[in-house]
Amino acid sequence: MIVSYGEVLGLAVCLFFMGMICVATRRNLIMILIGVEIMLNASGIAFVGAALRWRSLDGQAFVLFLMAVAAAEVAVGLALIVYAHRHTGTINGDKYNLMKG
Amino acid sequence: MTLYSGFFYLLAVIITVATALTITSRNLVYAVIYLVISFLGTALLFYLLGAPMLAALEAIIYAGAIMVLFLMIIMLIQVDEQEGVVSLLNQCFFVIAVIGTTFSLVMLLLYANPGSFLPLQAGMVTPRQFGAFIFQRYWLAVEVVSFLLLVALVGALFLSRSQSKEATYGVKR
C-alpha cells in the first residue's frame, strides 16, 4: 500500500511549478534549460504514478520516450548556447537584443 | 502510515527541497549538483512506484549523462557576469492566475475520477516485461526516437563547428 495517486500528482504539479518559475524568472540560458528539465522530470513522475494507478505499462513507455526527447533537447540546447556564447560573448538572455549579433 | 508511504513522503521532501535549492542558487555548479540529488531522489521514487528499469535509466541518463553535459558546458564557458532576475512580484496577478487555474484543473481531474484518493497497490514491472512491452507495442516509436537522437547528434555537431572549418568550407553566416 503506497500513497494515493492524488498525492503523486500533487508532487508532480509542485515540481512543474518550480520548473516554470525557474524558466520565467532566471535570465541565464543554462538555468532556463535546467527549468525545462525540471518540468520534463515532473511530467515523468506523473506518468509513472498513472502507470501504477491504472495498472498499465503505457505510462512507463512514455517516460522512456520522454527521457530520449529530453536528452536530444539538452544536446541541441547546449550546442545552441555554446554557439550563442561564441558569437555574442554572453549567455544572458536579456543581452540578445541585436540583429546580426 | 505504512513503510512505503513513509518512504514516499521522505523522497517527496528530498526532491522538493533539492529542486527549490536548484532554482534559487546563484552558482550554476551548485544548481546542477542539487539537481543531481533531485534526480536521484526521483529515481528512487520510480523504483518505489514499481518501475526499476526507469529508475536505472533515470539515474544513468538524467543524473549521469545530462547533468555531466551541463557541468561540462558550465565549465567550458566562463559565467562570471552578474545575472539579472525578473521579479515575479510585478506580475503577481498573472502568476496567481496561472497557478490557480492549473491547481483547480488538477483538482477537478482528481475529483471527477473516482478512486483517485485510494491508496495505490504496490506493484513491480520487471525489465524483461517492460522491454517485451516496448518492442511489441511501441516498436515504431522506438525507431522514431532513435532517429530523433540521430538528428539531435547531427544538429549539435553542425552548431558546434569551429570557425576555421567554416572558413574552409566557405560558409557565410
Indicate which CATH number applies to the domain containing B46.
Answer: 1.20.120.1200
Query: Do B73 and B1 sit in the same domain of this protein?
Result: yes
CATH of A29-89, one of 1.10.3720.10, 3.90.180.10, 2.120.10.30, 1.10.287.3510: 1.10.287.3510
Residue B107, in any domain of the structure? no
Query: Do B136 and B75 sit in the same domain of this protein?
Result: no
- For residue B10, give its domain range: 1-79
The stretch A12-40 carries a mean pLDDT of 91
Query: Do B6 and B75 sit in the same domain of this protein?
Result: yes
Tell me how many domains chain B contains: 2
Query: Do B4 and B60 sit in the same domain of this protein?
Result: yes
Query: Do B75 and B134 sit in the same domain of this protein?
Result: no
CA distances to A5, A95, B8, B106 from A77, in Å: 33, 18, 33, 30
Q: Does A70 touch chain B (CB under 8 A)?
A: yes
- Which pLDDT tens digit goes with each residue over B64-98? 999 999 999 998 887 766 666 777 777 778 888 88
Residue B48, in any domain of the structure? yes
Residue of B53, B149, B129, B50 lying closest to A48 (CA atoms) = B50
Query: Do B7 and B67 sit in the same domain of this protein?
Result: yes
The reported pTM is 0.88
- Which pLDDT tens digit goes with each residue over B104-135? 998 888 888 777 788 888 888 899 999 999 99
Its sign, for the CA torsion B19, B23, B25, B28, is positive
ipTM of this complex: 0.92
Nearest residue, CB atoms, A14 vs list B8, B16, B160: B16
Chain A residues within an 8 Å CB radius of B4: 1-3
List the grid coordinates of A46. Answer: 506523473
Q: Does A26 touch chain B (CB under 8 A)?
A: yes
